[in-house]
Amino acid sequence: MLIMNNLVVFPMIIPLLVGVILAFFPNHIYTQRLLTLLSLIATFVVSILLLNLIQTEGIITLEFGDWQAPFGIVFVADSFATLLVLTTSLLSSIIILFAFQTIGKTRETLYFYAFVNFLIAGVNGSFLTGDLFNLFVTFEVMLLASYALITLNGKKVQLRESIKYVAINVVASSFFLIAIAYLYGTIGTLNMAHASERIAEVGQTPLLTVISLVFLLVFSLKSGLLLYQWLPGSYSVPPAAIAALFGALLTKVGIYALYRVFTLIFYHEPQITHTIIAVMAILTIIGGSIGAIAFRDIKQVITYNVVIAVGFILAALAIFTATSITGGIYYLLHDMIVKALLFLLAGTIIYLTKTSRVDAMSGLIRNYPTLGWFFFITVLSLTGIPPLSGFLGKVLVGQGALETSSYILLLVTFLSSMVVLYSLLRVFMGTFWGETIISEEEQIPLKPLTLLPSAILICLTFILGLAPESIAPFVTDASNVLMNPQIYIDAVLEND
């Protein structure tokens, strides 16, 4: 069992070590490609092993240096964290295949693959860590890699948007440290399980509630909950492969942190904390909807759809029932897959037309029919049309809203689906319908390998929609642990 416990750290260690190795071989492009792909596949395999092991053995913990929790560093693999690690590894592998075709040799020699590995190491570490200070550390690993990726081979617009991105995250990290310091000064621990136990013993005092709101501010900045003004610009300027990594993964780490902290540690005053989350989620959905409708640039429309999804997933947390949390997890996994797909398709469209303006495109369905139907399926999936993957999550979140009489949240989340459908269908009609603007002489050949990653993601959205029972035991277990924090506490602190 000890050997199996050591698997918990592998999803962070494997890409971290590979990233260090790749830093020494910037000009060996094919070696970098191979090692990166093998690293991500190995991480994916480890995630599958962990997920199945959790179902038989329960939550798996690893105490570094044999220092028992809460005194030492601990990594914790429960179904929620491991599902996200598995999805991260799978999506990264698929996006890297797209990067092989599109990122360009110039960026490949500028340590692109090393930074991708560091990014994945930070993301996976954030999901698996069991204490708040190490969550801060892994956040910073992820962010430092993203700073490099957003400016890689930087054009003027990339550098301009990266300044906003870096500034916002530096402020958020400063508040994160302040919140950590106040929490430690109040309860004397940063281990999440131990913090939950301490607060349950003494009660969530007004001071602790204020500290929880500082954490809410921090993770809202990280995830784009209400404080999303940095997101549309930052996610629209990098190349498609990098934007797909950002859109699929980065905001999800902030969402994960909100789910973990406000179900495990600060869940005693939901009439304050979860009500504020509900208000922020509603305002986020409204703001994202306005942006998605207002812009005619395909990059901007997609990034504002990212904002809408953040609001929707955190509305499930605000409702805070077993049904809504289960729906939130289903939708989170769906959104990671389909947002990656949407960014890859948008990048392909921009590559073929040399513009991101919807009103400058027309009739692409005649030149690239497969690409057009892939985009249409993606629109339906994001809207939540059965039998695609977005349907079940939306139904469960809506059911949770009905159970708690959260009718405003129900209405806003339902209307958000209509906005998503309208904004992306408008892009589809403007881009693929009408008279073609590309003559046969001007038509750029679309290699099958370029569409292969999108085809794999299309298959995944169908599989999750048609066979949700394939992951149902894992999602149900994840929801159960989130709604019953004592399970997590007992596993980490080894309570009988």
Model confidence pLDDT, tens digit, residues 304-324:
999 999 999 999 999 999 999
Q: How far is C-alpha 121 from the chain's CA centre? A: 14
Task: For residue range 408-450, list pLDDT tens digits in order.
Answer: 999 999 999 999 999 999 999 999 988 877 776 677 888 889 9
Question: What pTM did the predictor assign?
Answer: 0.96
The pair of three-digit structure tokens given for residue 280, joined into one six-digit string: 């922020």
How many Cβ atoms from other residues are within 10 Å of residue 444's Cβ? 12
Distances (CA, A) of 53 to 5, 82, 143, 496: 10, 11, 30, 20
Q: Which pLDDT does position 438 carry in this prediction?
A: 73
For the four alpha carbons of 11, 110, 339 and 249, in that order, the dihedral sign comes to positive
Distance CA 325, CA 306 (A): 19
Distance CA 404, CA 411 (A): 13
How many Cβ atoms from other residues are within 10 Å of residue 148's Cβ? 18
Q: Which pLDDT does position 442 carry in this prediction?
A: 73
Q: What is the pLDDT along the chain (496 residues), one digit of tens a residue?
A: 556 788 999 999 999 999 999 999 989 999 999 999 999 999 999 999 999 999 999 999 999 887 888 888 999 999 999 999 999 999 999 999 999 999 999 999 999 999 999 999 999 999 999 999 999 999 999 999 999 999 998 788 888 899 999 999 999 999 999 999 999 999 999 999 999 999 999 899 999 999 999 999 999 999 999 989 899 989 999 999 999 999 999 999 999 999 999 999 999 999 999 999 999 999 999 999 999 999 999 999 999 999 999 999 999 999 999 999 999 999 999 999 999 999 999 999 999 988 889 988 888 998 899 999 999 999 999 999 999 999 999 999 999 999 999 999 999 999 999 999 999 999 999 999 888 777 766 778 888 899 999 999 999 999 999 999 999 999 999 999 999 999 999 999 986 4
Domain boundaries in the chain? 2-493
Closest C-alpha to 324, from 243, 263, 236: 263
- Largest Cα–Cα distance of the chain, in whole Å? 74
**How is residue 60 annotated by DSSP?**
E
Closest C-alpha to 125, from 112, 139, 113, 115: 139
For the packed helices 298-319 and 390-403, what is the interaxial angle rounded to 10 degrees? 40
Query: What DSSP letter does each residue of 97-113 carry, written as one string?
Result: HHHHHHS-HHHHTTTHH
Q: How far apart are the first and last CA of the chain?
A: 18
User: Which residues make Cβ contacts (< 8 Å) with residue 316, sequence separation at least 6?
Assistant: 324, 325, 327, 328, 331, 397, 400
